[in-house]
Amino acid sequence: MRYLTFALGKGRLAKTTLELFEKIGITCEEMKDKDSRKLIFVNEELKLRFFLSKGPDVPTYVEYGAADIGIVGKDTLMEEGRKLYEVMDLGFGKCKMCVCGPKSAQELLEHNQLIRVATKYPNIAKNYFYNKKHQTVEIIKLNGSIELAPIVGLSEVIVDIVETGTTLRENGLDVLEEICPLSARMVVNRVSMKMENERIAKIIRDLKEVL
Ligand code: PRP
């Protein structure tokens, strides 16, 4: 039996993902050691391997077959647009992709003004403004702390994830438009889905039972 390899996005989703897998008997003790600098963890008994990567790299590993299965946010899947199967909504990591900014920016959105949009998600922002709203905007790619952009005058609005809304509130910003709901998804490599169908289908069945 060959190893089935899981790619997990580092950060918010990783802990919940591991807890969920534990519920269906898939464990990886090694991975719980927070001080470890190891990158890949093996469960010899179940012939499983797990690795943590940056979220946006998860769909890449899965598309190329370096991982059979990935757990990643819908935001990342939409942004990366990789060729893979999205097989399951895991129901955690729920949040929304939104256009946010100061209240005063609302009218710029309503009157189709040429505005600047800062975001970590240029493809999602482009698709929303160009294809859905038919509004020409300038998109500025940032890598984090996106809420800073309208505060310091880099952009009029941002496209970003809103979970509790605390970051917006504490920085005097509001949700101006909702783009779509998000949550964690399980994705599978297209070839693995055929070659390892039995094992992967069982994991999906077991997960559905506990969710
Ligand atoms: C995300 C997102 C918002 C924040 C929203 O950032 O970009 O800044 O969480 O969460 P809230 O609505 O619960 O306040 P993250 O913490 O992932 O860091 P980042 O600044 O690197 O994007």
Q: Are residues 130 and 63 in the same domain?
A: no
One domain, residues 33 and 68: yes
Q: Say yes or no: 66 and 133 in one domain.
A: no
Starting at the edge strand that comes first in sequence, how are the strands of the sheet with 95-101 ordered?
137-141, 115-119, 157-162, 95-101, 174-182
Are residue 105 and residue 205 in the same domain, yes or no?
Answer: no
pLDDT of residue 33: 78
pLDDT of residue 29: 79
Site to probe by mutation for ligand 1, drawn from 94, 148, 157, 167 as the one with most ligand atoms within 8 Å of Cβ, is: 167
Q: How would you classify the pairing of strands 95-101 and 157-162?
A: antiparallel
Residue nearest to atom 5 of ligand 1 (CA): 162
Same domain, 108 and 154: yes
Model pLDDT, residue 36: 82
What tens-digit pLDDT sequence spans the chain (211 residues)?
Answer: 899 999 999 888 988 999 999 999 998 777 777 788 888 999 999 999 999 999 999 999 999 999 999 999 999 999 999 999 999 999 999 999 999 999 999 999 998 889 999 999 999 999 999 999 999 999 999 999 999 999 999 999 999 999 999 999 999 999 999 999 999 999 999 999 999 999 999 999 999 999 9
Please tell me whether residues 89 and 187 are part of one structural domain: yes
43 and 77 together in one domain: yes
| Ligand 1 atom, smallest distance to 120 CA | 22
Say how many domains are in the chain: 2
Q: Are residues 83 and 66 in the same domain?
A: yes
User: What per-residue confidence (pLDDT) applies to 112?
Assistant: 85
Same domain, 15 and 83: yes
pTM of the entire structure?
0.94
- Indicate the length of the chain as a whole number: 211
Domain with 166 in it: 95-181
| Interval between CA 162 and ligand 1 midpoint (Å) | 7
13 lines ligand 1 (CB under 6 A): no
Measured from the CB, is residue 18 less than 6 Å from ligand 1?
Answer: no
For position 189, which CATH number holds?
A: 3.40.190.10
144 CB under 6 A from ligand 1?
yes
* pLDDT of amino acid 175: 98
Centre of ligand 1 to C-alpha 161, Å, is 6
Whether the CB of 153 sits within 6 Å of ligand 1? no
Is there a single domain that holds both residue 79 and residue 8?
A: yes
